Amino acid sequence: MGHLDYVQAKIHTFQSFPQQRHLWSFMAEKVVFTNGCFDLLHSGHLTYLAKARDLGQHLVVGLNSDDSVKRLKGESRPVKGLEDRALALASLSFVDAVISFEEDTPAKLIELVRPDVLVKGGDYAIEEIVGHELVQGYGGLVTTIDLVPGKSTTGLIERMNEHG
């Protein structure tokens, strides 16, 4: 298996992921879940994802579809398409699985993944995190990770537009 094959094998669908999750459960390995648009991958994303992975043995990233990003962020987004965003995330050594979702929230995906740890950025209160009741209900941990100040895709796009 070549490097690209290995990376592409980390990109799952709702149909392909349950087999992977079953294996991790069988091995009693802790699964961490987070989600986002991850439009223009930057150091803030990388820091956040690396810290998320430190909370368990496997990191699953829910990735908003292009239509979902457009609804949440506006007509000019995403800058990069789903395939590019998924491949970039899957190429990171600390990301074990990437699964896209069409909805505006990852609620259905969280039910599928059934993470041991659900994590979002520090700009969320625990009770605002989609899926917190489900995860806490079966004894999972819901937590936040501080964001890197001054690092955001929106800010990056604004700076690029200012400088032509």
* DSSP per position, 11-75: EE-TTTHHHHHHHHHHTT--EEEEEE---S--HHHHHHHHHHHTTSSEEEEEEE-HHHHHHHH-T
Q: What is the span of the domain harbouring residue 140?
A: 3-162
What value does the mean pLDDT take over residues 123-137? 97
Tens of pLDDT, residues 7-63: 999 999 999 999 999 999 999 999 999 999 999 898 899 999 999 999 999 999 999
Q: State in Å, rounded, how far the first CA of the chain is from the last one.
A: 42
Calpha distance 126→124 (Å, rounded) = 6
Confidence of residue 162 (pLDDT cuts 50, 70, 90): confident
Tens of pLDDT, residues 81-117: 999 999 999 999 999 999 999 999 999 999 999 999 9
The reported pLDDT for the residue numbered 14 is 97
- Using an 8 Å Cβ cutoff, are 113 and 126 in contact? no
What value does the mean pLDDT take over residues 126-137? 98
Calpha distance 143→118 (Å, rounded) = 6
Amino acid residing at 39: D
* Count of structural domains within the chain: 1
DSSP 94: T
User: Which CATH number characterizes residue 12's domain?
Assistant: 3.40.50.620
The reported pLDDT for the residue numbered 54 is 98
The reported pLDDT for the residue numbered 42 is 87
Residue 160 has pLDDT above 60, yes or no: no
Please state the pTM of the whole predicted model.
0.92
Phi, psi of 98 (to 5 degrees): -125, 130
The reported pLDDT for the residue numbered 154 is 59
